[in-house]
C-alpha cells in the first residue's frame, strides 16, 4: 500500500483512476481519506500553479509524499502541467514519481522535440510521463473548449515523444465551475482504439457524473479533477463562517472543509469505478 507508482495504479485499475489536485496539506489529507473510505488507489497532483502559490515545490511535495506513504491504499504523487524543465528536475530530486509535461502552447514540432527530450530524461530516472497534444480548453482562460484531438495525430505524437500517457481534447475545459460539459464519446472510443497509451481527461470538474461514467466506459483511464473539489472546499468554509461569525480558529473551518472534500472524493471514485 502507501506510496505507489502511477503506472502501476493505472495498469491495475479495472476502470477509471481519480487524479485530484492538491493545493494545501488539507487537500492531500482529504483526498487520501476519501480514497481510503472508497478502498481505491488515488493520485495526488501538484500543479505548477500550486508550486507558484507555495513559492517552491519542496514543501507541498514533501507533505504530499508523507501523506501518501502513510495511506492505507496505493497513492501516487504527480507533478501536473509542468512547463519548466527546472521544475521537472526538482520533482525528480524530491522523489515525485511522475510528471505531466505541458508543451501544448508551443508549435507542434517544438512540442514534440521538447516533450521527447523531457520524456527520455524522466524515463532515465524512473519517472512516468504524461503529455498533452494541442491545447485542452479553459486553462488560464486562453484555450478554446471546442478543440479536438485527431486520432492519427495522437498516434504520431506518442510514437515520436515516447510518453506513457496522453491528455486529449474531447470537449472538456479546465477550470469550469458548472458541470455541463458535453464530451465527444465517439472520439474517445476512436482515440482509445488507436492510441497505445492510457488516455487522460483534463478539465473533468465540468463533466457531469453520467458523462464521466460514459467517458471511462469509452476508454478514458485517468480522470483529472481540481476545480470541483476547490468549490467544495471553499463553499464549506464560506458556509461555516457564515453560520458562526465567532469562529477564529482556522482548524475549525479547515477541518470541516477537509471532511467535505474527503466525502466528495469517495463519491467521485465510486462514479469512476
Q: For 56-104, how does the pLDDT look when each residue is reduced to its tens digit (9 = 90+)?
A: 999 999 999 999 999 999 999 999 999 999 999 999 999 999 999 999 8
- Structure confidence at residue 137 (pLDDT): 45
- Structure confidence at residue 71 (pLDDT): 97
- Structure confidence at residue 143 (pLDDT): 40
187-210 burial, b at 16+ Cβ within 10 Å, e below that, comes to: bbebbbeebebbbbbbbbbbbeee
1, pLDDT greater than 60: no
Instruction: Give the whole-number percent of the chain exceeding pLDDT 90.
Output: 78
| Residue of 113, 49, 46, 103 lying closest to 80 (CA atoms) | 46
- 3-class SS at 149? coil
What mean pLDDT is predicted for residues 39-49? 96
Cβ proximity of 216 and 239 under 8 Å = no
Cβ proximity of 189 and 199 under 8 Å = no
Q: pLDDT-based confidence at 19, cuts 50/70/90?
A: very high
94 inside domain: yes
CATH for 67: 3.20.20.70
- Structure confidence at residue 141 (pLDDT): 37
pLDDT digits (tens, 9 = 90+) for 206-215: 788 888 999 9
- Structure confidence at residue 108 (pLDDT): 84
22, pLDDT greater than 70: yes
14 inside domain: yes
Q: Which residues are known to be catalytic?
A: 80
18 inside domain: yes
Which residue do the cell numbers 485542452 mark? Answer: 136
1 inside domain: no
139 inside domain: yes
Q: Which residue spans within the chain are E strands per DSSP?
A: 17-21, 42-47, 75-82, 98-101, 128-132, 165-167, 199-201, 220-225
- Structure confidence at residue 204 (pLDDT): 76
Cβ proximity of 35 and 41 under 8 Å = yes
- Structure confidence at residue 203 (pLDDT): 77
Q: How many domains does the chain have?
A: 1
Range of the domain at 71: 6-272
- Structure confidence at residue 138 (pLDDT): 44
- Structure confidence at residue 182 (pLDDT): 63
95: buried, middle or exposed (CB in 10 Å: 19+, 13-18, 0-12)?
Answer: exposed
41 inside domain: yes
| Residue of 79, 101, 83 lying closest to 91 (CA atoms) | 79
pLDDT digits (tens, 9 = 90+) for 106-157: 888 999 999 999 999 999 999 999 998 765 544 443 345 667 888 999 999 9
pLDDT digits (tens, 9 = 90+) for 153-202: 999 999 999 999 999 988 666 656 566 666 788 999 999 999 999 999 98
- Structure confidence at residue 205 (pLDDT): 73
Amino acid at each position: 500500500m502507501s506510496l505507489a507508482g502511477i503506472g502501476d495504479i493505472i495498469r491495475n485499475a479495472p476502470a477509471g483512476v481519480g487524479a485530484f489536485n492538491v493545493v494545501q496539506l488539507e487537500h492531500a489529507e482529504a483526498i487520501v481519506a476519501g480514497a481510503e473510505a472508497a478502498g481505491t488507489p488515488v493520485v495526488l497532483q501538484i500543479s505548477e500553479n500550486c508550486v507558484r502559490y507555495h513559492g517552491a515545490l519542496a514543501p507541498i511535495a514533501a507533505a504530499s509524499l508523507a501523506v501518501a506513504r502513510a495511506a492505507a491504499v496505493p497513492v501516487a504523487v504527480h507533478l501536473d502541467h509542468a512547463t519548466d524543465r527546472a521544475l521537472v528536475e526538482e520533482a525528480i530530486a524530491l522523489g515525485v514519481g511522475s510528471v505531466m509535461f505541458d508543451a501544448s502552447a508551443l508549435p507542434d514540432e517544438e512540442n514534440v522535440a521538447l516533450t521527447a527530450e523531457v520524456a527520455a530524461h524522466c524515463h532515465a530516472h524512473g519517472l512516468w510521463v504524461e503529455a498533452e497534444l494541442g491545447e485542452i480548453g479553459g486553462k488560464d482562460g486562453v484555450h478554446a473548449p471546442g478543440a479536438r484531438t485527431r486520432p492519427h495525430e495522437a498516434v504520431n505524437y506518442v510514437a515520436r515523444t515516447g510518453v506513457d500517457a496522453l491528455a486529449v481534447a474531447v470537449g472538456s475545459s479546465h477550470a469550469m465551475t458548472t458541470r455541463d460539459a458535453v464530451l465527444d464519446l465517439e472520439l474517445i472510443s476512436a482515440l482509445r482504439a488507436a492510441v497505445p497509451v492510457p488516455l487522460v481527461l483534463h478539465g473533468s470538474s465540468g463533466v457531469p457524473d453520467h458523462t464521466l461514467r460514459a467517458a471511462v466506459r469509452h476508454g478514458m483511464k485517468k480522470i483529472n479533477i481540481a476545480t470541483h473539489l476547490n468549490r467544495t472546499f471553499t463553499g464549506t468554509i464560506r458556509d461555516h463562517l457564515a453560520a458562526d461569525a465567532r469562529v477564529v480558529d482556522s482548524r475549525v473551518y479547515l477541518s470541516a472543509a477537509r471532511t467535505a472534500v474527503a466525502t466528495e472524493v469517495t463519491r467521485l471514485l465510486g462514479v469512476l469505478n
